[in-house]
């Protein structure tokens, strides 16, 4: 496995994550690679070629967090690894104060195009442009992945999120692709909804959503909104998946204000480890890790952001005890 701890709290949550993975009893070989702000300052490169090559050669990649160099690191990693799916679960847990305890949403986000293609131009001193790219190929494969995820995981509904009343051509193509795929899965309910109305409904009635499939920018925003509903980004893992590679990263950033203090919540990183285990076919181990983490959350054995008093590594040790 390739491990890229990054900056800020990244190395701390990754260290906790690795302790839990080692405690599963499975045999892993972890190879660590540099990337991020510190490496950029020292060498002039945010991510060296050795890191890209190590990630491409690995069975899976575990990523921590980076700061201002994120676009040069995580966006490039996703592109180099061909990970066109971004899975972002937002699930409320017992014992964690939140707005809506019934929330359990999986956002399936297209990961390669939209405004995140980074095609920006300064036309004049007063005018800039950004080009939104939406393709049939990417839209069909993300729609199909969303329905296949729903079917495999016992989900009942897929909601395609768009802004076709304004973005008639680009989101028109995206919706056409979703509509083409939906009939292949008659057991899954299909609906379409405007992104602004979905944002309001997530705040008011998140139980109306099961699986959301959407374009890159909308998926990024809605998944962070859903995180706020369940108690914060510290509880949100993510998986970047492609045909050949997989990259797992907690959704939270590098949080430099608390870096090095040992207080960051490792839950998202630990859940990333569970998602990696499931991706590798180790479903029993994945469930063991997930169940142990949920036990700790329920019992209040958490870091201070969730009302507990444990350090980052102390929480990881509690998860390991719960696994045993």
Residues of the chain above pLDDT 70, percent: 100
Q: What is the pLDDT of residue 71?
A: 86
Q: What is the pLDDT of residue 299?
A: 95
CATH 1.10.150.670 fits 99-230, yes or no: no
Report whether pLDDT(217) > 90: yes
- Mean pLDDT, the chain, rounded, equals 96
Which homologous superfamily is 1-86+236-324 in? Answer: Isopropylmalate Dehydrogenase (3.40.718.10)
Domain ranges of the chain: 1-86+236-324, 99-230
Cα separation, 289 vs 280, in Å, equals: 14
103-141 confidence digits (pLDDT tens): 999 999 999 999 998 899 999 999 999 999 999 999 999
Cα separation, 1 vs 245, in Å, equals: 11
Q: Of 59-63, 98-102, 191-195, which range is least confident?
A: 98-102
Contact assessment for residue 272 and residue 236, using Cβ atoms and an 8 Å cutoff: no
- The DSSP line for 271-286 is HHHHHHHHHTT-HHHH
Q: What is the pLDDT of residue 292?
A: 98
Compute the C-alpha angle 227/238/273, nearest 5°.
Answer: 120
Please, which residues bridge with residue 90 across strands? 105
Give the CA distances from residue 25 to residues 28, 47, 114, 134, 288, in Å, rounded to whole numbers and listed in that order. 9, 32, 41, 43, 11
Q: What is the pLDDT of residue 12?
A: 97
Compute the C-alpha angle 63/67/73, nearest 5°.
Answer: 50
Mean pLDDT of 154-176: 98
Contact assessment for residue 112 and residue 220, using Cβ atoms and an 8 Å cutoff: no
Contact assessment for residue 218 and residue 180, using Cβ atoms and an 8 Å cutoff: no
Count helices and strands in the chain by DSSP H and E runs: 11, 12
Report whether pLDDT(178) > 90: yes
Q: Is the pTM of this model over 0.75?
A: yes
**pLDDT: which is higher, 201 or 118:** 201
Q: Do domains 1-86+236-324 and 99-230 have the same CATH topology?
A: yes
What residues act catalytically? 116, 163, 196, 220, 224
25-79 confidence digits (pLDDT tens): 999 999 999 999 999 999 999 999 999 999 999 999 999 999 999 889 998 999 9
Q: In the Cβ-directed half-sphere of 181, how many Cα atoms lie within 13 Å?
A: 27
Give residue for tokens 């939270």.
252
């Amino acid at each position: 496995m390739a491990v890229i701890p990054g900056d800020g709290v990244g190395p701390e949550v990754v260290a906790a994550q690795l302790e839990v993975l080692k405690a599963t009893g499975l045999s892993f070989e972890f190879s660590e690679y540099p990337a991020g702000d510190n490496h950029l300052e020292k060498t002039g490169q945010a991510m060296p070629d050795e890191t890209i090559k190590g990630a491409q050669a690995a069975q899976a990649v575990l990523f921590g967090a980076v700061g201002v160099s994120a676009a040069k690191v995580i966006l490039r990693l996703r592109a180099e690894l061909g990970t066109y799916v971004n899975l972002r679960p937002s699930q409320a847990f017992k014992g964690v104060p939140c707005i809506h305890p019934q929330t359990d949403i999986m956002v399936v986000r297209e990961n390669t195009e939209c405004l995140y293609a980074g095609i920006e131009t300064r036309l004049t001193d007063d005018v800039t442009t950004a080009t939104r790219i939406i393709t049939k190929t990417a839209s069909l494969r993300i729609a199909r992945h969303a329905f296949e995820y729903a079917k495999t995981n016992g989900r009942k509904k897929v909601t395609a999120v768009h802004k076709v009343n304004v973005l008639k051509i680009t989101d028109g193509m995206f919706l056409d692709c979703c509509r083409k795929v939906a009939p292949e899965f008659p057991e899954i309910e299909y609906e379409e909804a405007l992104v602004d109305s979905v944002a309001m409904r997530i705040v008011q009635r998140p139980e109306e959503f099961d699986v959301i499939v959407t374009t890159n920018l909308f998926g990024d925003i809605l998944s962070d909104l859903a995180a706020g509903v369940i108690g914060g980004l510290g509880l949100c893992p993510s998986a970047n998946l492609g045909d050949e590679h997989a990259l797992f990263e907690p959704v939270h950033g590098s949080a430099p204000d608390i870096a090095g203090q040992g207080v960051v919540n490792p839950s998202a990183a630990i859940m990333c480890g569970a998602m990696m285990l499931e991706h590798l076919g180790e479903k029993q181990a994945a469930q063991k890790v997930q169940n142990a983490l949920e036990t700790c959350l329920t019992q209040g054995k958490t870091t201070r952001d969730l009302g507990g008093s444990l350090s980052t590594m102390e929480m990881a040790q509690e998860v390991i005890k719960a696994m045993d």
